[in-house]
Amino acid sequence: MKLTKALNRSLWAFHFNSGSCNGCDIEIVATLTPRYDLERFGVKLVGSPRHADVLLVTGPVTSQMADRLRRVYAQMPGPKVAMVIGTCGLSGGIFSTSYNLAGPVDQIIPVDVYVPGCAPRPEAIIQGVVTVIAKLERLEVGERND
Amino acid sequence: MTAKKVPYIVPVGPIHPALKEPVHIELTVSGEEVISADFTPGQTHRGIEWMGLSRNPVQIVHLTDRICGICGVTHSLAFARAVEQIADITVPERADYVRTIIAEFERIQSHLLWAGVAAHELGFDTLFYLAWRVREGAMDAIELISGNRVNYDIIQIGGVRRDITEDQFEPIRRCLANYKDLFGKLKMLFLEDAVINSRCKGAGRLSFEKAMAYSTVGPTARASGCTADLRADYPYAAYGDLNVKPVLPTVYSNDINGDTYDRIVVRIFEIAQSIEIIEECLANMPVGRILWEEKVAGILAACKKAKGEAVGLHEAPRGECLHYVAMDLAEIPIAWKVKASSYSNLHVWPLILKGAQLADIPIIVASIDPCLSCTDRVVVTDAAAGRTKIFTKEELTRLSYEKTRRLMQ
Ligand code: SF4
């Protein structure tokens, strides 16, 4: 992984809450604010999926949100990467027995990077982002996203 | 120019790029002014209560932590208190103090989080970053005590799962001292700033009568002059030993307006109050056990013998949180009902948004500190002409920023 080269380009992320408890969402924002400051690498949250390289998904995907998740993912331009943050998006976690789940996330859209934890620490999220950068680099030289 | 009379319907949500939960808001606007507002929550429904009815109370406590990631201790504490009443469990005094300390740290963290978001909605991002940096102090203290930053899982039926040890007192005190030094600065930045004053004073007014009629709770109610605060009204945990007085906007100014500004005043001063409460708890911490019964089997045995119903209450950062539990001689409760504090407060949105300007929507919506909210994309529909214009959350925020800029000129 050539981190310096990758960091020539800023990574823009769109955050999608598919029914999380807010814990992971708060940690994403904590990752971007001064203590952990992911923004110094140009990583920032954008307001539209059409501008994003990475989709950050939190939550176990409730049935109301499944279709919206599909649509948001489809709106993103390639090469794109989807990253699940938090155990409940990985497997349903503590909510796995609920009647209202369409998820976990990888049942709905293809997922590239998983960050486990409930909630994952900001350091873990940063590690996930580094993995995403490596993956995006590979996608750019032609690896297919499937 | 007849078009300006036509009301537009503005659906907002349910996806937000920043941090809050999905909710759908629908506004009818005429030009810049909101005529009426309505909202539909429910996009994050996970069926938690239903899942709870196939688990035992010790397992449910972990589920309650994950109702909301910001109020990590609120729901578990309210739920545990309900079960403890039914099963006749007395919580050791030391555990009560640990519960109080963590609950107050949660309040500090939650109010700072909110203050940051509010500043962000006004386009004051420097203050947003400052508030979130300052908030990390409370997160460190929470992590020190519970071992996790979010979803602390510290409450157990009949006590707490982790004690605060002697060597932890020092870093906690240091954290509090830090906040004390910072408080003057926070107060100045949030309450004396010209932009915040001009944007928040008079915005989203909620009168005392309406606040009472809509049963609002927490800082939203107190900003309108209601003295409701469970910590003072029905003391629980260690609050009985402390002298907690509800914080009203009168701590800072002479009159109560019930506007967004007053809500900031209440929350900022509640941070100071929480610091004092934690200090007092640390100074008077009783010695002894932290659990009524160490073994989970013992707790469950008590639950099996329990019959009856009870309500557990806790004053969360956003106001009263209520859990109703009924048990009938079985490990698994037969009924469990949660009323979170935001539920009481959301209903005033239609009221306080009425007559507001489009650019003021983000801050008014945020001012009650909703635990779900979003302004991701907005569709303005001109019903008469059949035209549709799509606003994104960014555009709406931009309107808000532009208004701030105009005021500064
Ligand atoms: S993984 Fe845990 S903290 Fe994250 S959203 Fe799910 S329940 Fe909340």
Could A118 and B151 be called an inter-chain contact, meaning their C-beta atoms sit closer than 8 Å?
yes
Tell me the β-bridge partners of A33: none
Could you tell me the residue ranges of all domains in chain B? 48-343
- The owner of tokens 């650019």 is B359
Q: Per-residue pLDDT for chain A (146 aa), expressed as one digit of tens each?
A: 454 454 467 888 888 888 888 888 888 888 888 888 888 878 888 878 888 888 999 988 888 788 888 988 998 887 888 999 999 889 888 888 888 888 789 889 999 999 998 889 999 999 998 888 888 877 777 655 54
Cα gap B20→A16, rounded to integer Å: 10
CATH class of B48-343: mainly alpha
Identify from A15, A27, A33 which residue to disrupt to test chain B contact, counting B C-beta atoms within 10 A and taking the largest count: A33
Tens of pLDDT along B234-275?
888 888 888 888 888 888 888 888 888 888 899 999 999 999
- Write down the pLDDT at residue A141: 72
Domains of chain A: 5-138 (3.40.50.12280)
Given a cut of 60, whether residue B109 has pLDDT beyond it is: yes
Q: For A132, how many CA atoms within 13 A lie in the half-sphere containing its CB?
A: 29
- Amino acid making up residue B354: K
Given a cut of 60, whether residue B199 has pLDDT beyond it is: yes
Could B19 and A15 be called an inter-chain contact, meaning their C-beta atoms sit closer than 8 Å?
yes
Q: Distances in Å between the alpha carbon of B208 and those of B221, B246, B295, B370?
A: 8, 15, 48, 20
Give the nearest partner residue to B45 out of A24, A62, A119, using CB atoms.
A62
Residues of chain B above pLDDT 70, percent: 84
- Amino acid making up residue B196: I
A21 vs B: CB within 8 A: yes
- Cβ contact B92:B292 at 8 Å: yes
Q: What is the CA radius of gyration of chain B?
A: 22
Q: Scanning every residue of chain B, which has its alpha carbon at the shortest distance from the alpha carbon of A24?
A: B69
Cα gap B13→B174, rounded to integer Å: 42
- A113-115 and A81-85: which strand pairing? parallel
**What's the mean pLDDT when you consider all of chain B?**
81
Strands (E), B237-359: 307-316, 319-328, 335-339
Tens of pLDDT along B310-322?
999 999 888 888 8
Q: Which of 94-113 (A) contact B at CB < 8 A?
A: 94-95, 97-101
Cα gap B231→B247, rounded to integer Å: 11
Confidence band for B408, pLDDT divided at 50, 70 and 90 = low
Cα gap A139→A143, rounded to integer Å: 5
Identify from B54, B66, B369 which residue to disrupt to test chain A contact, counting A C-beta atoms within 10 A and taking the largest count: B66
B4 vs A: CB within 8 A: no
Show the ligand 1 pocket: residues with CB < 6 angstroms.
Answer: A 20-21, 23-24, 58-59, 86-88, 93-94, 118-119; B 66, 69, 150-151
Could A29 and B45 be called an inter-chain contact, meaning their C-beta atoms sit closer than 8 Å?
no
Q: What ipTM was estimated for this complex?
A: 0.85
Mean pLDDT computed over B377-401 = 50
Q: How far is C-alpha B36 from the geometric centre of its chain's CA atoms?
A: 25
**pLDDT higher at B91 or B70:** B91
- Cβ contact B46:A52 at 8 Å: no
- B8-12 and A12-17: which strand pairing? unpaired
